[in-house]
Amino acid sequence: MQYKLTTPVTQADLAPLRAGDTVLLSGTVYTARDAAHKRMMERLDKGEPLPFPLEGAAVYYVGPTPERPGQVIGSAGPTTSGRMDAYSPRLLDLGLSIMIGKGARNQAVKDAVVRNGAVYLAALGGAGALMAESVKSLEIICWEDLGCEAVRKLEVENFPLTVILDPQGGDLYQSGPAAYLAQASR
């Protein structure tokens, strides 16, 4: 199935999603990679607010390249999500609803996705220029010193994504190969 979602989202918005579904995401998406996640944890540990609201939010693990004249953003392909696994359960427990990246996630993240009715969506790896076409505006909101890893607020329209981890515990990285092997053995 294909779904159209607009951020911020609710658990009810995400409940119908299943691993393997496609999503066209619109609205606000924040960017944050490893260095930004580390700084977010430091803020939380000090009792300080995060630079953006987590409730119903989407975070894209990306470090975009500089934009060319006339572009909103440069190439914006996903980075490996596993580098955020240590931070993700805490952010999900605080209200983060959508994580976007590429690659498998650990069991703690999978458990937090189910516990919070959240999702993990995959962006097309190797297709950063295609992903950038969905970005309509960009604003650096904090930690400009991190360069491409600064936290950005993106406004996206029909950002093409695939559901990897769903709120019911489905994992496309497990069910996809299993379905293929079952079909191949017939």
Residue ranges of the domains in the chain? 2-184
Can you give the pTM of this predicted structure?
0.93
pLDDT in tens, 123-155: 976 667 778 889 999 999 999 999 989 999 999
What is the per-residue pLDDT for 117? 98
Confidence label for 2 from pLDDT (cuts 50, 70 and 90): very high
Is-contact 28 155, C-beta < 8 A? yes
pLDDT in tens, 73-107: 888 889 999 999 999 999 999 999 999 999 999 99
CA 155 to chain centre: 14
| Distance in angstroms between the alpha carbons of the first and the last residue of the chain | 25
pLDDT in tens, 44-84: 999 999 999 999 999 999 988 888 888 888 888 899 999 99
What is the per-residue pLDDT for 133? 87
Assigned fold of 2-184: fumarase (3.20.130)
